[in-house]
Amino acid sequence: MKRSIISFFIILLCVCNHIKATDYDPVVVRINNLEITKAYIEYNLRQYGDDFSKKDTKHFMDSLILDRVKVQEAKRQGIDTSFVYLNKVAEYSHQLANQLFSQRLDNSSFISNSVDSLEYLQIYHLYQPIPQHAGAVFLEEKIELFNSLHSILEREPSLIKEYVEKYSDITTPYWVRQKQNVIEFDSKVLSLGVGAISEPFLTPSGVHLVKVISKKKFPGKEKKSDWKSLSLEELDVFLSNIKQSYDFSYTYETPWKTNNWEPKSDQVLFTLNGKEYTKNDFDYFSRSNLSSINKQYVSFLLKSIFDEQYLSLATGDKEFEYSLMDYKHKLLLEELTRRELEKRQPMNQLGLQRFFEENKKDYKFQMPRYQGLIVSCSNRKVARRVKKILRRNNQEVWTDFLREEFKSLDNEFVKVEEGPFVIGENSCIDKNIFKQGSYTPSSTHPRLVIKGAVEWYPTNYLEVKEQVATDYKAYLKKKWEENLIANSDIEFNKEALKTVNKH
């Protein structure tokens, strides 16, 4: 088993360190100086399978260009600097790396980079984003605000809830766990005790201040094998193998070679590919580890090597690069779309009515209807009075004038029925207007006055408001997309496009 563990690390090094140099990758399309290469297009086309027509290719390229233009707009709005976005990307990148490793290595020897237990912290998170192009004055103002809040909270910690609701973009408590967030966040927060308040600190996304409400521990996932159990002899074999391809060397004696291992906090313990790993790094790694100092050191050393392989994969593996890029773009597009839809939520009634009038043909009924009145009259004289009222007034006020004339719309003189009437709904309209079925007039109100018109379309958008609102949103979204495209500089390399392999 331990031989397989050693083999895993050696294979892992080979996977990440011996990636063949790629051939020249031509740029197929350039969008506002953003280059989309042939390799990336072919990677995306493979997701669609083999059956890809010329029409499909055009649709694919149009969609790809529109998505990239939107991604640029999302970045312009600073969405890629938000705390939530950066944390999701950090977590997904590690999941993706583990997934790719497991696909390339024998599952029986794959080592899960999990921990003995997962610690969850419930926190209040005072957070304000810092735009990508914010100036020094803006940044100083934010830091000054957070320092002031921190001073007050040290004296009155109970004010945290009020301050979070008033000043923070994240207004409710939530749970975080190990390795879920960016390293700058983890290093400041995970070591805090319950009730403790962090100093204000910066990450790439903004400025933060955190108070820990509570902590819980849950069992970690079962490991298929435990690389922490390597013996010291096996560790030496492994390190001698990686020296062939990695610049690794001890710069301070290991704890198992001395009885009194007490390096200073800034002492460099070893170097890997030019990076120094200090006693401070080791202390942070092992702060909640109760195993022996030798086991802690071996675990720290191997994890450092594992992390180095992750970085190699992130910078040298196209599948990893493209998968992570697609995930980033997905997050940006979702948030940008959400913001755009929110802008259109309180829709202008005049805009809806105008859109409806311009596109009325799209709302044609499947079957015609009759919009008007049926007035059943007691005699011919009453019928003449009704006809005169309807003839002299607009349709919108017919019932008002009939009620005024006859005191009611249902009495011994008249019985009024108001449309719209759909075929099959009223036998009188079916017989007299749509010429189908049969109808027998009432014995008490035998005279009929029918006034109105056959309609194939709604008269007002309110009759089909939900559908019109949906279509109007789509229309505004399309105009917005067209405007983004029109204001973008898009340049094709037609010769390179011809060489794209669509299978």
Residue type, 268: V
Residue with the bigger pLDDT between 41 and 266: it is 266
pLDDT greater than 60 at residue 8? no
pLDDT greater than 50 at residue 276? yes
The CA angle 427-429-430, to the nearest 5 degrees, is: 60
Q: Are 98 and 112 in contact (CB under 8 A)?
A: yes
Total length of the chain: 503
* pLDDT given at position 222: 43
Q: Omega into 420 within 30° of 0, i.e. cis?
A: yes
pLDDT greater than 50 at residue 417? yes
* Residue-by-residue DSSP string for 235-284: HHHHHHHHTTTS-EEESS--GGG-S-----TT-EEEEETTEEEEHHHHHH
End-to-end CA distance of the chain: 41
* pLDDT given at position 391: 93
Average pLDDT over residues 350-355: 86
* pLDDT given at position 11: 44
Residue with the bigger pLDDT between 284 and 244: it is 284
Percent of the chain at pLDDT exceeding 90: 29
Place of tokens 């819980």: 216
Average pLDDT over residues 243-253: 78
pLDDT greater than 70 at residue 272? yes
Could you give the CA distance from residue 76 to residue 343 in angstroms, rounded to a whole number? 17
The CA angle 266-267-272, to the nearest 5 degrees, is: 110
Percent of the chain at pLDDT exceeding 70: 79
pLDDT in tens, 212-226: 998 887 655 444 444
Is the domain covering 117-219 a CATH 3.10.50.40 domain?
yes
* Confidence category of residue 198, pLDDT binned at 50, 70, 90: very high
* pLDDT given at position 49: 56
* pLDDT given at position 1: 45
Which of 8-12, 319-323, 364-368, 499-503 shows the lowest per-residue confidence on average (mean pLDDT)?
Answer: 8-12
Average pLDDT over residues 194-212: 89
Q: Are 427 and 435 in contact (CB under 8 A)?
A: no
pLDDT greater than 70 at residue 263? yes
* pLDDT given at position 246: 67
* pLDDT given at position 22: 44
Select, from the ranges 24-33, 84-93, 323-332, 387-396, the one with the highest average predicted confidence (pLDDT).
Answer: 387-396
Pick from 163, 158, 161: nearest CA to 147: 163
Mean residue pLDDT across the chain: 80
Pick from 24, 16, 69, 28: nearest CA to 488: 69
pLDDT greater than 70 at residue 117? no
pLDDT greater than 70 at residue 313? no
pLDDT greater than 90 at residue 232? no
Average pLDDT over residues 177-206: 82
Residue type, 477: K
pLDDT greater than 50 at residue 375? yes
Reduced to 3 states, what is the DSSP secondary structure of residue 154?
A: helix
Distances (CA, A) of 231 to 31, 114, 235, 299: 54, 20, 6, 11
Q: Are 259 and 248 in contact (CB under 8 A)?
A: no
* pLDDT given at position 111: 39
* pLDDT given at position 344: 64
Pick from 237, 240, 238, 311: nearest CA to 274: 311
The alpha carbon dihedral of 68, 74, 78, 84 has a sign of negative
Question: SS3 letters for 43-79?
Answer: HHHHHHCCCCCHHHHHHHHHHHHHHHHHHHHHHHCCH
Which of 26-40, 233-247, 423-437 shows the lowest per-residue confidence on average (mean pLDDT)?
Answer: 233-247
What's the gap between Cα 263 and its chain centre? Answer: 46
pLDDT in tens, 390-408: 999 999 999 999 999 999 9
Which of 229-243, 279-293, 472-486 shows the lowest per-residue confidence on average (mean pLDDT)?
Answer: 229-243
Could you give the CA distance from residue 392 to residue 382 in angstroms, rounded to a whole number? 16
Could you give the CA distance from residue 503 to residue 56 in angstroms, rounded to a whole number? 12
